[in-house]
Chain A
Amino acid sequence: MSYHVDKKGYYGQFGGAFIPEMLYPNVEELRQKYLSIMAAPDFKLEFKQLLKDYVGRPTPLYFAKRFSEKYNTKIYFKREDLCHTGAHKVNNTIGQILVAKHLGKSRIIAETGAGQHGVATATVCALAGLKCIVYMGEVDIARQAPNVARMKMLGAEVRAAKSGSKTLKDATNEAIRDWINHPEDTHYIIGSAVGPHPYPDMVSRFQSVVSEEIKWQLKAMESKENPNYVVACVGGGSNAAGAYYHFLDNTGVGLIAVEAAGKGVDSGESAATSVLGKEGIIHGSKTLLMQTTDGQITEPYSISAGLDYPGVGPMHAHLYTSKRAEFIPVTDDEAMTAGLELSQLEGIIPAIETAHAFAIFETKVFKPDDVVVVCLSGRGDKDLNTYIDYFKL
Chain B
Amino acid sequence: MNRIQAKLKEDKKLISIYFSAGFPALNDTVEIIKNLEKSGVDMIEIGLPFSDPLADGPTIQQSSTKALKNGMHTELLFEQLRDIRKEVSIPLILMGYFNPMLQYGVEAFCEKCQAVGIDGFIIPDLPAEVYDEAYKTIFERYGLINIFLITPQTSDARIRYMDSISNGFIYMVSSTSTTGAQSEFGKKQQDYFKRVADLNLKSPQIVGFGISNNETFREATSHAKGAIIGSAFIKFLANKGVSKIPNFIVKIKA
Contacts and interface: CB of A to CB of B under 8 A. Distances in A.
Nearest to B101: A295
A163 interface: yes
Interface string A162-193: 01100001100100110011111000000000
Interface string B134-152: 0000000000000011110
A278 B103 contact: yes
B65 A181 contact: no
A24 B126 CA distance: 11
A21 B102 contact: no
B163 to A, nearest CB: 14
A112 B55 CA distance: 20
B153 interface: yes
B127 A22 contact: no
Interface stretch (B6-14, B46-54, B215-223): B46-54
A184 B175 CA distance: 13
Contact of B99 (A19, A22, A295): A295
B52 A297 contact: yes
Given A181-B178, A284-B125, A21 B52 contact: no
The winner among B73, B104, B151, B155 for most chain A CB atoms within 10 A is B151
Interface string B149-189: 11101110010000000000000010011100000000000
B20 to A, nearest CB: 14
Contacts of A281: 97-99, 102, 125
Given A19-B125, A281-B125, A294 B153 contact: no
Contacts of B151: 21-22, 183
A339 interface: no
Contact of B54 (A24, A173, A293): A173
Contacts of A24: 127, 153-154, 158
Interface string A270-291: 0000000011111110000001
Given A20-B54, A20-B149, A21-B149, A296 B124 contact: no
Interface string A292-308: 01111110000000000
Nearest to A278: B103
Interface string B42-68: 000000001110110110010001001
Contacts of A56: none
Given A281-B102, A295-B102, A18 B177 contact: no
B98 to A, nearest CB: 6
Contact of B154 (A21, A279, A283): A21
B103 A280 contact: yes
Given A181-B176, A295-B74, A18 B130 contact: yes
A293 B57 CA distance: 26
Contacts of B99: 280-282, 291, 295, 297
Contacts of A182: 176
A20 B97 CA distance: 10
A182 to B, nearest CB: 8
Nearest to B49: A296
Nearest to A163: B61
B97 to A, nearest CB: 8
Interface in A1-56: 16-22, 24-25
Contacts of B74: 294-295
B40 interface: no
A184 B152 CA distance: 11
Contacts of B153: 22, 24-25, 183
Contacts of A176: 54
Given A294-B73, A295-B102, A183 B176 contact: yes
B100 interface: yes
A296 B154 contact: no
A20 B125 contact: yes
A268 B61 CA distance: 26
Contacts of B68: 296
A176 B56 CA distance: 10
29 contacts: A18-B125, A18-B126, A20-B55, A20-B124, A21-B148, A21-B150, A21-B151, A22-B153, A22-B177, A24-B153, A25-B153, A25-B154, A164-B65, A169-B52, A170-B52, A173-B52, A173-B54, A177-B54, A177-B55, A180-B54, A180-B177, A180-B178, A181-B177, A278-B103, A281-B97, A282-B99, A291-B99, A294-B100, A295-B103
Interface of A: 16-22, 24-25, 163-164, 169-170, 173, 176-177, 180-184, 278-284, 291, 293-298
| Smallest CB-CB A-B distances: 8 pairs | A295-B103, A295-B100, A20-B55, A296-B51, A20-B124, A21-B149, A25-B153, A295-B99
Given A21-B149, A281-B102, 12 more contacts: A19-B125, A22-B178, A25-B153, A163-B58, A163-B65, A177-B57, A177-B178, A180-B54, A181-B178, A280-B102, A295-B102, A297-B99
